[in-house]
Amino acid sequence: MSRVGFLTIGQSPRTDVLSDIQEYLKGLEIVEAGALDGLTREYIETNLAPRAGETLLVTRMRDGSEVIIAEERILPLMQERVRWLEEQGVEVIAVLCSGSFPEF
């Protein structure tokens, strides 16, 4: 079975988003990853919040609550999750965010 990866800038799983997509992906195994997976709100607010001149992004924690992060600080974490998804054998990775990101 082919595997498709979905990467969010917040925490996974994102059932609010993937529930709408899953019906179109029958026959594919879905693997989710979140750039903030494994991180506490305290860590995120202390280390990933935007500072002067940084780009603000709003995303969701696993419990559905919102958190504000800096794009510049989340990119390295996204790259780590891309590598992890590749290690899981996914063939395609989709970023679940309305923003624009560089190629990983």
What lies within 8 Å, CB to CB, of 40 at 6+ separation is none
Confidence (pLDDT) at 53: 96
Confidence (pLDDT) at 103: 75
Confidence (pLDDT) at 90: 97
| Alpha carbon distance 89, 98 (integer Å) | 25
Quick: pLDDT tens for 64-98. Answer: 999 999 999 999 999 999 999 999 999 999 998 87
pLDDT grade, residue 19 (50/70/90)?
confident
pTM for this model (two decimals):
0.88
What is the rounded end-to-end Cα distance, in angstroms, of the chain? 24
